Structure 1
């Protein structure tokens, strides 16, 4: 029996791809080599696969994925009908792979997340963990701005009640049990980093070093990071609304105090028309009102999207090669 235990060992690597034509073939070769070594060491089953998820790429990413699948049956491809976003692409891959795999690991196509950490993921899984989080050792590879915004992001998320593990992105392992449970979560506004910990399964952490991106540019722009932060806060916590209530109470108390002071000045005959005071109070109240409406509006918008129950993604096609017959298979599926 392998030193890694006797749990079922079919592994699927799920790799979300958006305009990754520059480095996809190199990434596929590195991943293929790593899976081959894991199979030889009897850490995973020979049935293990690498599943690329094409998230509506505008370049030749899907064409490259199809060619890879035809060259080697270890690869399979899943094509979404449009760009559904990173979180939906990951979810579609996990739920599809979970039908065939005993464990699924999500990893980015740029290989900045150290693929050698897979050994640690599998070991933790064999010891009984249903979820294994990949956490980066440090942020030394990031620039000052990226490091500062990332630090603020995690601190703000935890301050506002969203249970997010610091320095954990979307490099993680989920067992079939965890994926089956995740499938029961139907919300449209996805924030997997906060959602998965709420399932409560036994979990573990594997630390890894971040590598330099070998090809292409990061597709995770500042705008997308801000959107992810907003989705994370409003999807996982109602604390911003509670803070608005508290702030409204504080401002109300301040307003009452100002009214009392004004009345005392008027009764004592020292009341002088205060243009500055009036402007400050008016602008403060107006700003607070607009800000509060904006936050409440975010929650109303999320409710609106949820009530429509539109699919989180639509799978246009899935491609794989039968390992025994060598025949190509291709099919379409409904959205989730």
Structure 2
């Protein structure tokens, strides 16, 4: 068993899951375990992740009977993991953030002894961030609102789907169900701020610019989800005030 377990939520990912990349990682990797969560898929996702889980004892699969959404799927997996792990992370199944990048984030968490490390899609001169222009600008507007009016921590990119969290902290932050479907990352950080304080978050939450990130397309976020954002913001303001 490795010291870090990365949760990969999967809902109808049969056409997008990068089987060969996961296979190569599983066969070569001993420092990180993978935990695939089938979130009530209706396609061939279950069989695909079962095949991956059979490749190594460092790879597990959890099958949920019905679709509960990414936030709750990750939460259910966190609740299942025991204290043999020192860190728990999560990663999108389409590998928009690569397995090599999650390895790098994990190494940074270990080296710097940081309990909360999160990837950030910052386009710098030495990074390759492949993001559609429309998605970039809409993302920046949402992220600016989130940090200015909700978090107030100077965080650039709450919604990047690659994070590494110390085991006990993860157990605490994921203990209760989330109030929103798409903004659960915001709720995670807000829970840390309310439970441990702003100074703790400024010292212990580290945002790392990703070297590479690729916009795979076919996002699970729909136009309806975007339209519901004001309602989600209201839920967060009301619940965490």
TM-score (structure 1 length as normaliser): 0.57
Query: Does the CA-based 8 Å contact 1:17-1:61 persist in structure 2?
Result: yes
Change (3 A) 1:99 1:61: farther
Aligned length: 220
Pairing 1:73–2:57 present: yes
Within the candidate set 127, 147, 160, 2:136 is matched to 147
Query: Does the CA-based 8 Å contact 2:75-2:177 persist in structure 1?
Result: no
Runs of at least 5 residues in structure 2 that lack an aligned partner in the other structure: none
TM-fit CA distance, 1:232? 4.5
Structure 2 residue aligned with 1:179: 170
Larger radius of gyration: 1
TM-fit CA distance, 1:32? 1.7
TM-fit CA distance, 1:193? 1.8
More divergent stretch after superposition (194-203 vs 109-118): 194-203
Query: Does the CA-based 8 Å contact 1:13-1:105 persist in structure 2?
Result: yes
Structure 1 residue aligned with 2:114: 129
Change (3 A) 1:113 1:178: same
Change (3 A) 1:27 1:185: same
TM-fit CA distance, 1:89? 1.5
TM-fit CA distance, 1:30? 4.4
TM-fit CA distance, 1:97? 2.9
Query: Does the CA-based 8 Å contact 1:141-1:212 persist in structure 2?
Result: yes
Cα distance per residue 1:189-216 (max 9 Å; x no partner): 4643222223145222221121253xx8
Structure 1 residue aligned with 2:223: 222
Within the candidate set 202, 205, 219, 1:203 is matched to 205
Query: Does the CA-based 8 Å contact 1:27-1:110 persist in structure 2?
Result: no
Q: Measure, in 2, the Cα distance between the counterparts of 1:77 and 1:120.
A: 23
Structure 2 residue aligned with 1:26: 20
Matches within 5 A, 1:83-122: 83-117=67-101, 118-122=103-107
TM-fit CA distance, 1:177? 1.7
TM-fit CA distance, 1:63? 1.4
RMSD: 2.9
TM-fit CA distance, 1:127? 2.4
Structure 2 residue aligned with 1:192: 184
Matches within 5 A, 1:35-74: 36-37=28-29, 39=30, 44=31, 48-74=32-58
Q: Measure, in 1, the Cα distance between the counterparts of 2:75 and 2:189.
A: 15
TM-fit CA distance, 1:132? 0.6
Q: Measure, in 1, the Cα distance between the counterparts of 2:185 and 2:36.
A: 20
Q: Measure, in 2, the Cα distance between the counterparts of 1:221 and 1:187.
A: 19
Structure 2 residue aligned with 1:233: 233
Runs of at least 5 residues in structure 1 that lack an aligned partner in the other structure: 1-7, 239-298, 300-336
Q: Measure, in 2, the Cα distance between the counterparts of 1:10 and 1:101.
A: 5
Pairing 1:158–2:158 present: no
Q: Measure, in 2, the Cα distance between the counterparts of 1:163 and 1:59.
A: 41
